[in-house]
Structure 1
Amino acid sequence: MRTQRRTRRRATRATYLLPQAETSALWARHLTTVFLTRGCGEEVTCDQVEDATLVVSELVTNAMRHGRSSCRLRLHVDPGTVTVEVEDASPVHPRLCSPLETDESGRGMVMVRELSRHFAVRGGPGGGKTVQAVLAAS
């Protein structure tokens, strides 16, 4: 008799709907870390996990603060890259200018752009937007 060996395939994509709440960025960081370290089925470096977690935190925080709606977090892993997308209901694109040294905020998007190999903002069909950051292996 022949035994079948079942291999459980892990997902290389994950989508999470996050409510408009103060704790959403915290949950997004946790979900990202768990997915990248235990659930994506691809080898992801520690640097990529740290970078992705920081990018997710910034993008979800911006979606909560400026989008004023729930948001959708999508993670996609290919060999060598991690793609982070955050979709919210606001059509307003994030400010991508450098803050002054005396500014207390506004550095998040600069960090996201610096950590990304590719960065894009796309308008959505319902009037919202999706912010995408593709992170390469360090």
Structure 2
Amino acid sequence: MRAQRRSRRRAACATYLLPQAETSARWARHLTTTFLTRGCGEKVSGDQVEDVALVVSELVTNATRHGHGSCRLRLCVDPGLVTVEVEDASPIPPRLCSPLETDECGRGIVMVRELSQHFTVRGGPGGGKTVQAVLAAS
């Protein structure tokens, strides 16, 4: 009897450096949609592409508004999972509490957490942070 080896395919990943600009979230949504529909090599449903693009938009918006400069967006697609990571230079984590009904902002991270299977914030080199959201791909 011979043991079968399962070769695990490496995740398809893409990394983008985005400037601190009003247009960065829109550009990040475009890059994400293009990567997930044409470049990642995995089947990602249309609904999931929309969910991932929404998560990317929220995280990039937060990073470019509050992160003290540019941000780095990293997308990785494994069978069944899409991982979104946004890294910025600010050590201050996003506000993770639920906003009041009268608040005009602060709902983005709550929505990101609801769409994600896993959500983490970790410190990075030089005092920055990386916000990671893992979503189902299909």
Same fold (TM > 0.5): yes
2:104 matched to 1:112?
A: no
Structure 1 regions of 5+ residues with no counterpart?
1-10
Secondary structure of the structure 2 residue equivalent to 1:48: helix
2:40 matched to 1:47?
A: no
Give the structure 2 partner of residue 66 of structure 1. Answer: 66
Q: Could you report, residue by residue, the CA deviation over 1:37-93 in whole angstroms, capped at 9, with x for unpaired residues?
A: 000001111121011000000000000111121000000000111000000000000
The 4+ residue runs of structure 1 with deviation greater than 3 A are none
2:31 matched to 1:31?
A: yes
Number of equivalent positions:
128
- Return the letter of the residue paired with 2:24: S
Give the structure 1 partner of residue 76 of structure 2. Answer: 76
Give the structure 2 partner of residue 129 of structure 1. Answer: 129
In the aligned structure 1, how far is the partner of 2:63 from the partner of 2:84? 13
In the aligned structure 1, how far is the partner of 2:114 from the partner of 2:133? 10
- Return the letter of the residue paired with 1:26: R
TM-score by length of 1: 0.90
- The Cα of 1:125 is off from its aligned counterpart by 1.4
Structure 2 regions of 5+ residues with no counterpart?
1-10
Secondary structure of the structure 2 residue equivalent to 1:21: coil
In the aligned structure 2, how far is the partner of 1:126 from the partner of 1:68? 13
Secondary structure of the structure 2 residue equivalent to 1:110: helix
Q: Could you report, residue by residue, the CA deviation over 1:70-124 in whole angstroms, capped at 9, with x for unpaired residues?
A: 0000000001110000000000000000001111100000000000000000100
- The Cα of 1:33 is off from its aligned counterpart by 0.2
Secondary structure of the structure 2 residue equivalent to 1:101: coil
Identity in percent: 84
Q: Could you report, residue by residue, the CA deviation over 1:9-58 in whole angstroms, capped at 9, with x for unpaired residues?
A: xx810000001111000100000000000000011111210110000000
- The Cα of 1:137 is off from its aligned counterpart by 3.8
TM-score by length of 2: 0.90
Root-mean-square deviation (Å): 1.0
